[in-house]
Structure 1
């Protein structure tokens, strides 16, 4: 059976202990740069191969320079191995124009086994209220030429209340919501959740700010193994100041469970 596009494009090959080769796909680009969530998932795959536990629990990622499609090297190591949790670090490198190796991304992560977690859940969090899938808007409704290459890899349907930016009438609320899945039908798992938290259009668009919104730092928490089926994703921004904004993400699975959360700091680069 052939791998899904996501699995193929996040694959890494062990070159020597702790060193992995990757061939990053331009299909996950936003403009000329690759999506940060896609890159994080690729690095998390290398870390999962390195560490004694299978699943990312928390991942803190610093994006140092923009990453382009093509060859890359991931160096991963186990920093501490415990009975229930292990901590590791990884960096992604590419060759610069001068032939020297350039570090693009640095990650510190804690891994565990999500299948062993208690089923006791006590929460005040609620799934986002949004229209049914068939009443939400796909990338075919985006302004001509504005849909990034990554959109073709996704089955994403945006809540109409959060797409005013697409017709020149942003709401000013700093919110984005969508039904979400992979276009080839692959079910979600902990690795794809790391991509999901960074896959929607930025909330800056609904604040009336267009242009590139590069991530400076992203911390993601994977809370549970997701059930098969579509996800619901909600993003919000409460404060844009000094040209930077925070963006909080919640990801809910088809069983109405909160399966991933994240917060990132991003720079609002006006177009």
Structure 2
């Protein structure tokens, strides 16, 4: 099968992603939101989606609108449903402003529980100079029509979930051994990525992009949930229209934890986002 192009392409500000990351200001620094079940992985809300929800609240709370660096600690697993975000402005400056945000839900006993805590600095990506000096190079893998997504398999891929229905995801065949029962043993994952409704990427959706691929643990021969402990994202540029290329790599799994480094490249061959996360794996 090939990816079906939506009849009407969604636009930034008018898409499923925008609706599902919407926040409503209740009071100064306090926002209500409703976490959508459409962004879950085996019943757990995806960490990148959560980061985008909190990122939207911070964009409203701070005088600058673009995330530059966002660091999140995932304290307890979030569930689909109502949540409250509380923000606090730490500092405002001419070029950068910094704040923190926490997302809360109620547990089965009616107690308020903090799910995720974020510290972030925001600025204006359009004000950055054009000077780029880098040794980084875009990942090299086959064109989109020679890569494969969840819909291309004869049966649902192990670990697939609701989030895959909201993504345009085409994986590099050389990182798909896990789906065929023959993982490569290399902690690598590469893919073309976009939103299924055709909405182009923006700085907020880049917070989702760094955590949208299957985990590199799958190619290490480890299946099951790989919960994020901490995730830091650096947004480097406003992405050009078109599909993204995302590359993940893990170099060290030890003590039941691994790091996962991500690079996100846009259609103009610019490195638009980077991230590192620490995640836990279940061995044995």
TM band (smaller chain): over 0.9
- Counterparts of residues 55-70 of structure 1 (less than 5 Å): 55-70=66-81
- 1:74 and 1:195 mapped to 2: Cα distance? 18
Render the CA deviation track for 1:119-161: whole Å, top value 9, x for unaligned: 0000000000000000000112354363211000000100000
8 Å Cα contact 2:150/2:156 also seen in 1? no
Output the TM-score relative to the length of structure 2: 0.94
Is residue 144 from structure 1 mapped to residue 156 from structure 2 by the alignment?
Answer: yes
In structure 1, C-alpha distance between the alignment counterparts of 2:217 and 2:109, rounded to whole Å: 35
Residue in structure 1 matched with residue 34 of structure 2 by the alignment: 23
Q: For 1:65 and 1:141, how far apart are their aligned partners in 2? A: 33
Is the 1:211–1:270 Cα contact (8 Å) retained in structure 2?
A: no
Q: Distance in 1 between matches of 2:267 and 2:157?
A: 32
Pair 1:7-2:18 in alignment: yes
Structure 2: unaligned runs, 5 residues or longer: 1-10
Aligned twin of 1:106: 117
Runs of 4+ in 1 over 6 A off after TM superposition: none
> 1:78 — aligned with what?
89
Q: Per-residue CA shift, 1:51-102, capped at 9, x if unaligned? A: 0011000000000000000000000121100110010000000011111110
Deviation, 1:178, is 0.2
Q: Hey, what's the Cα distance between the residues in 2 that align with 1:231 and 1:32?
A: 26
User: Does residue 133 of the first structure (1) align with residue 137 of the second (2)?
Assistant: no
Is the Cα contact below 8 Å between 2:157 and 2:179 reproduced in 1? no
Equivalences, count: 271
3-state SS, counterpart of residue 205 of structure 2:
helix
Deviates most, 138-147 or 205-214: 138-147
Alignment of structure 1 residues 1-271 onto 2, 5 Å: 3-142=14-153, 143-144=155-156, 146=158, 147-270=160-283
Q: Is the contact made by 2:105 and 2:113 (CA closer than 8 Å) also made in structure 1?
A: yes
The RMSD of aligned alpha carbons is: 1.2
Residue 205 of structure 1: CA displacement?
Answer: 0.2
Report the TM-score, using the length of structure 1 for normalisation: 0.98
Map Cα deviations across residues 180-203 of structure 1 (whole Å, 9 max, x no partner): 000000000000000000000000
Shift of 1:172: 0.6
Q: Which runs of no fewer than 5 residues in structure 1 stay unpaired? A: none
